[in-house]
Amino acid sequence: MEKFKNVMSRPVPLNSAHVDTDQIIPKQFLKRIERTGFGQFLFFDWRFNDDGSPNEKFILNDLRFKNSEILLAQENFGCGSSREHAPWALRDYGFKVIISSSFADILYNNCFKNCILPLVLNEKDLEYLFESTLNFNDYMLNIDLEKNLLADNKGFKISFDIDSFRKKCLLEGLDDISLTLEHSEKIDMYEKKL
């Protein structure tokens, strides 16, 4: 897996709670048998009008947030189906960090497998980020995973919590399967008892 590096970007404020994976990537795009190329379908039903033109009202189509690598969302981001197509689409579109006040379990897990950092902040800090990115045209957020640090160019700086094992996997781009295979003997032993 690729290694997670520092991210510096103006975040996109997606002001919706309970964004489900059916919205992140609608089911008609789950039929591909590859892992790649899902970015074009991200938030498809919100991003595009029925005639295929971009929906100007949807925040991802707002030019101020073009090429952003950080997505802000309200609570319980990524609920619903377990489809890993959701993080594939988010990552392929260009997002490296997702910030919310809470995440659904499976999506949270799936992010780490795809070099995306899902960050949980308290509601107050999240609200501050939402407002700032809307208010300041030069707004920039810096995420330094190594130091557990989130800072903007307006003097706001906090350290965030993240499971240290998951952090290590992201930073070193560790592949889960190889990690597990280091424990092959234990798996063999376990199976002998079955």
Site residues (vs other proteins, CB under 8 A): 15-18, 20, 22-23, 26-28, 30-35, 45, 74-76, 79-84, 87, 102-106, 109-110, 113-114, 163-165, 176-177, 179-181, 183, 186-187, 190-191
Min separation Cβ 151 and other proteins, Å:
26
Tokens (6 digits) for 146 = 């190594």
Nearer CB in complex with other proteins: 58/154: 58
Q: How far is CA 129 from CA 40, 63, 138, 175, in A?
A: 26, 18, 13, 32
Nearer CB in complex with other proteins: 80/94: 80
The residue among 69, 47, 73 whose CA lies nearest residue 115 is 69
Nearer CB in complex with other proteins: 109/142: 109
Nearer CB in complex with other proteins: 58/153: 58
Min separation Cβ 67 and other proteins, Å:
26
Amino acid letter, 98: I
Min separation Cβ 35 and other proteins, Å:
5
Min separation Cβ 81 and other proteins, Å:
5
Residue whose tokens read 């919205």: 23
Min separation Cβ 10 and other proteins, Å:
22
Strand residue runs (E) in the chain: 7-9, 12-14, 70-73, 97-100, 117-120, 141-144, 149-152, 157-159
Tokens (6 digits) for 91 = 């990552």
Nearer CB in complex with other proteins: 9/38: 38
Tokens (6 digits) for 163 = 């499971």
Cα dihedral: 123, 78, 114, 169 (round 10): 50
Q: Is the dihedral of CA 158, 162, 168, 172 positive or negative?
A: negative
Beta-strand relationship, 97-100 and 141-144: unpaired
Nearer CB in complex with other proteins: 9/88: 88
Min separation Cβ 168 and other proteins, Å:
9
